[in-house]
Chain A
Amino acid sequence: MNLTEHLPILVVIIPLMTAPLCVLLDHPRLAWFAALASSWVSFAAAISLVMQVSAQGPISYWLGGWEPPWGIEYRIDVLASYVLLIVTAMAALVLIFAKESVQKEIPEQRIAYFYAAFMLAFAGLAGIVATGDAFNVFVFLEISSLATYALISMGKDRRALNASFTYLVMGTIGATFILIGIGSLYMMTGTLNMLDLAERLPEVADTRTVRAGFAFLTVGIGLKLALFPLHLWLPNAYAYAPSMVSAFLAATATKVAIYLLLRAILVIFGIDFSLGLMPLDNLLLVLGLIGMLSASLVAVYQRDIKRLFAYSSVAQIGYMVLGVGLANATGITSTILHLFNHALMKGALFIALGAVAYRIGSTTLKDFSGLGRQMPFTMAGIVAGGLSLIGIPPSVGFISKWYLVLATLEQNLWPVALLVLFGSFLAVIYVWKLVEAAYFGEPDDTRTIREAPLSMLAPLWILVIANFYFGIHTDLTVGLATQATSALTGGGG
């Protein structure tokens, strides 16, 4: 068997097949090891995919050997390989962190199943990214969503159950909307393959059915994306989920949704239709801005740090959507950049919070009092992640904001640029709250807290270093992002 030829499918099925394996093993440590090993293999596959795609252009893989549009096609272009890289890298890092954290948070006899569910969530996300078939998106979306609902409900607090249920209802409505959207497109074109759709849609673009289908698809993705005002499920889901689940979801799930949005509006419908014919650009612009500002404001008032950063995620989604709404190449580049960069910072922050939860069992602001001295490495990681979130050079956060502001100025929308900066200012406030408590608050002397174990610090600091490494050496990320943008907007998927 020729490995390189089958890379597109291997990235997805290796984690997918690990899930039943975990169930068969039914042993906590073995299951963890299987999950870890397969996610690293998948990560390696993603790396070689990135290299293969940027050298030879998009790869098309025919599942079952049937040529598209009759069979299902996996299509890896620059953007897809880039997002696959994010997803697999985060899974691989989070799983290192998971070992100790899961042992503490999940009942012993359920750990193996927990990892199985995690692998399904991971593989589902990877499947959404890799596929070139509209209906296949729906199937893998449901694999990952169902697994995610179960994972979130494993949080220790009973509010996790309610959060999970809310997410289930919202998520299913979103998925059903997507299904209606796909149905309308299929009705007008007779095909489900994305590229084939892109080819056949212009003929019928002027029909009301296609326009409504577009609306349903966008709203459905918006629900999954937690786009303001459809974000209400997200903060609680992230806040009450087990630590490793929050870390993984915050770093990947919304990124995949953004990717889907980009795919839908740029590849399937084409930029002229989505941003020209439909008033989507202005809508995204406004929603992105409101989401960014309102969620940042709410974040400032949060007392639970996990929830604080969850709201901050909603705000960051605002930035990414804003980039799309600007409807120029720089804006889209900034969004794609931020996919990667935001994964780095939120991954680091949530892993650090997980480490705190591991040591003191809670993440309320009160409990952070004096932690700067008790868990110096963890707290330093949080501060570094926070700086990146604010956008201080030379962090990656600065790079994405730089491109975003550049894009607004290109469109002569300087008020928007000011608002983006104001959003950063709000981020300063909420990060400062934490720093103040951790470094200037009085430690509670009645408790002795040790630094987090190495298996948690290692992935945390890998991410922190990446935050600054990719802030200084921007060639790789900016290069890929511009390449992806020109492929998307130039029409040559």
Chain B
Amino acid sequence: MIDPGLYNYWIVVFLMMAGFYVVISQGNLVKKLVGLSLFQTSVFIFYISMGKISGGEAPILVEGITVYSNPLPHVLILTAIVVGVATISVGLALVVRIHEAYGTIEEDEIHEQDLIDDETTEDPSSFSNGEKNG
């Protein structure tokens, strides 16, 4: 059952989870974005790994080569990389604005200020989003 052919995937899983952990456990917004990027990049490796054929070559037609790796995952990941960088740049722009509006980029501190905002604009009874930090 345990076969060296799967190790590659397990390393990817480890990387993915490292990124995922950073996203959900860290309070710093920039670090969250780095984690998100890490998470996505590892998923890319997962896709590319499955397109590989042992002994295959890059999918560009060359005389005398018959085994090529699968080009489709490459295409998908090209798209996904672009999507990733797009998300990160919007995220960073948001972080910059949050920093200007709150003076901090720590989730906890922002959250505290949000609660104060809630109290000043509404009646004090609404603590409803207090569950956010879970």
Contact = CB atoms under 8 A, between A and B. Distances in A.
Interface in A210-268: 232, 235-236
Contacts of B110: 162
A176 interface: yes
Contact of B43 (A150, A164, A180): A180
Interface in A129-174: 135, 138-139, 142, 146, 149-150, 153, 157-159, 161-162, 164-166, 168-169, 172-173
Contacts of A175: 83
Given A302-B126, A304-B121, 9 more contacts: A157-B117, A166-B132, A169-B23, A169-B32, A172-B40, A179-B40, A232-B131, A303-B125, A307-B128
Nearest to B101: A158
A204 interface: no
A52 interface: no
A364 B117 CA distance: 13
Contacts of A138: 80, 83
Contacts of A433: none
Contacts of B87: 142, 146, 168, 172
B47 interface: yes
A4 B90 CA distance: 38
Contact of A165 (B24, B43, B91, B117): B91
Interface in B18-75: 20, 23-24, 29, 32, 36, 39-40, 43, 46-47, 50, 72-73
Interface string A303-345: 1100100010000000000000000000000000000000000
A239 to B, nearest CB: 9
Binding site of B, secondary structure by majority: helix, strand, loop or mixed? helix
B94 A176 contact: no
Nearest to B79: A139
Contact of B50 (A135, A183, A301): A183
A149 B101 contact: no
Nearest to A239: B129
Interface of A: 135, 138-139, 142, 146, 149-150, 153, 157-159, 161-162, 164-166, 168-169, 172-173, 175-176, 179-180, 183, 186-187, 192, 232, 235-236, 298, 301-304, 307, 311, 362, 364-366
Given A176-B40, A301-B125, A183 B47 contact: yes
B119 to A, nearest CB: 10
Q: What are the 6 A-B residue pairs with the smallest beta carbon separation, nearest first?
A: A158-B101, A303-B122, A142-B83, A303-B123, A165-B94, A161-B98
Nearest to B121: A364
A366 B39 CA distance: 44
Contacts of A165: 29, 91, 94-95, 98
Given A172-B36, A187-B50, A304 B122 contact: yes
Contact of A301 (B76, B79, B128, B132): B128
Nearest to B46: A183
B10 interface: no
B88 to A, nearest CB: 9
Contact of A168 (B47, B90, B102): B90
A227 B14 CA distance: 27
Nearest to A169: B32
Contact of B20 (A162, A173, A235): A173
